[in-house]
Amino acid sequence: MSVHELMAVLPEPQELRARCRAVALLNTIVSAPGGPSHTFVADWRPGVDLAGMDNGSGDQYDIVFGPDGVFLYGFDHESDASPWREDERAHWPGLLDGLPESLAEFAQAPEFQFDGFFDATVCAWYEAGSGGWRCGPVELAEGETDGADWLFDILTGSDPAQAFIDFAEEYYERPVDRGAVEAVLKGAPLDRRMVAALSATASFDAVAARAHAVGWAVADG
């Protein structure tokens, strides 16, 4: 899968934002030190939310949700499209071509720069009112990759609960309760039973504080 195939399976912005928020909360509950980090920051900037992933091994993505649309990028440090393929870093041809002016500022955001350069191997965007995902005229030869085939798989599958379970069980090497995962993905208020079903060691109070920070309802008791 390249960015072109990724666009066909990315959810609409509202659904994508909901999945990102749920995955971040789930990751807060099941995570362990040194594991991948899925995050969601409400009001990262006024009226703008930010979802992200950092796997701790040099790969990451960020997704910006704002009134002008959605800007998504990923960085697969081993992909053929890595800017580091050149002695002087350079984006893969076409990567940002066509990026609307209304979203272009996010490619220059200081938070997304590494040593003064926007490290990205895959980019896509959904401008408000455009009716669909778009990307630049990127071309990859057979066998070449940009990271789109795996960076966003938790967010794009037809069965998001199973996608998260597969990810969590692989990394943390323990069973993950499907019912609790489904409840979070459906936006159910967080309660002690759900947290206990997902982790025997997670502090409910700590998880509840994180849930409140992203605007998630928490059940009393």
Question: In whole angstroms, what is the distance from residue 12 CA to residue 70 CA?
Answer: 10
**Spatial separation of the C-alpha atoms in residues 126 and 68, rounded to whole Å:** 9
1-19 per-position pLDDT tens digit: 799 999 999 999 999 999 9
Summarize pLDDT for 40-63 with one digit per residue, the tens: 999 999 999 999 999 888 899 999
User: Using an 8 Å Cβ cutoff, are 138 and 93 in contact?
Assistant: yes
CB–CB of 38/171 below 8 Å? no
135-153 average pLDDT score: 94
197 and 179 Cβ atoms separated by less than 8 Å: yes
pLDDT of residue 31 exceeding 90, the answer is no
- For residue 132, the model assigns a pLDDT of 95
| Whether the predicted pLDDT of 156 surpasses 90 | yes
* Average pLDDT of span 185-207: 94
Mean pLDDT score, 189-196: 95
Contact 191, 221 (CB under 8 A): yes
Tell whether the model's pLDDT for residue 38 goes beyond 70. yes
Q: Which of 26-35, 44-53, 102-111, 165-174 has the lowest mean pLDDT?
A: 26-35
Average pLDDT in the 75-92 region? Answer: 92
The CA-based angle 86-90-91, given to 5 degrees, is: 125
Highest mean predicted confidence (pLDDT) among 26-35, 105-114, 212-221: 105-114
SS3 at position 71: strand
Query: Which pLDDT score is estimated for 32?
Result: 67
Position of tokens 């002695």?
87
Determine the pLDDT at residue 34: 65
Q: Is the pLDDT of residue 158 over 90?
A: no
pLDDT exceeds 70 at position 138:
yes
* Per-residue pLDDT, 33: 66
Give me the pLDDT at residue 36, please.
Answer: 74
Q: Can you give the pLDDT at residue 87?
A: 82
Model-level pTM? 0.95
Half-sphere exposure of 136 (CA within 13 A, CB side): 22
